[in-house]
Amino acid sequence: MRVDILIDFQWEIFIVIEIISFISLLLFGVFRYFFGNKSISTLFISTFLLLVVVEALLGIAIYQYTGEFSTFQMVLLIFVVYACTFGIVDFKKLDRWMRRKIGGWRGVDLLTAKDYKIIEQNQDPKYVAKVNRNSAMIHLVVFVIAQGIFWMMGLDTWDEAMYYLTDFSWFETGNYQDSPYPNETLYSIGTLWAVIFAIDFLYSWSYTIFPSSK
């Protein structure tokens, strides 16, 4: 397939991949827990994993062809990173939900003692707050290290870094040349990540600051 075709229909391809991925996850649960067919269910989960790889390769192919890091590649990067990190936790939640629902339809208990313990923990506000605090702090460490590396690539002295840390007007210009980042690609990644980090950090700590009454 010619790369220019991939570029022309990149968003359509991405949407189709995401739809197939979601359907694959649902069919995984249906065939494994409703029909009890592990072979076919394994095929569907393998399809999902393969599509994650396809998304990554799609982004790489387009970048190599255009030499630019676009919004599309940014979206792909977010989805692929999510699938390889937080997506694993969310998949486990989805898996438990499917076993609970399908087990109820079949009149059988598909949950394990460990599942019930996890479900009970997830209903404990203190436990949920602790998990989110830990997640926020891990994200903070990774964010600071990565951003530090990005800035080191674009700056020569500590004084320059202090300038950018005390004056964030560069963040609003939309031009990487006014920023501490060495190029447009890292500027796009760094600034978007900063926004996502701020939202995630505040959201995670909200469970501690405003705990549930349950």
* pLDDT tens digits along 117-131: 999 998 899 999 999
Q: How far apart are CA 142 and CA 81, in angstroms?
A: 13
Cα dihedral sign, 150-202-204-208: positive
Question: What is Dmax (Cα atoms) for the chain?
Answer: 67
Q: What are the extents of the domains in the chain?
A: 1-88+101-107, 123-214
Q: Both tokens of residue 15?
A: 């949407």
Fill in the amino acid letter for 172: E
Identify the pLDDT of residue 214.
Answer: 62
Closest to 200 in 3D by CA, of 137, 111, 130, 152 = 137
Q: How far apart are CA 80 and CA 142, in angstroms?
A: 17
Identify the pLDDT of residue 173.
Answer: 86
Q: How far apart are CA 30 and CA 99, in angstroms?
A: 9
Fill in the amino acid letter for 79: F
Identify the pLDDT of residue 1.
Answer: 55
Residues of the chain with pLDDT under 70: 1, 214
Q: Both tokens of residue 38?
A: 């592990």
Identify the pLDDT of residue 57.
Answer: 93
Q: How far apart are CA 102 and CA 168, in angstroms?
A: 52
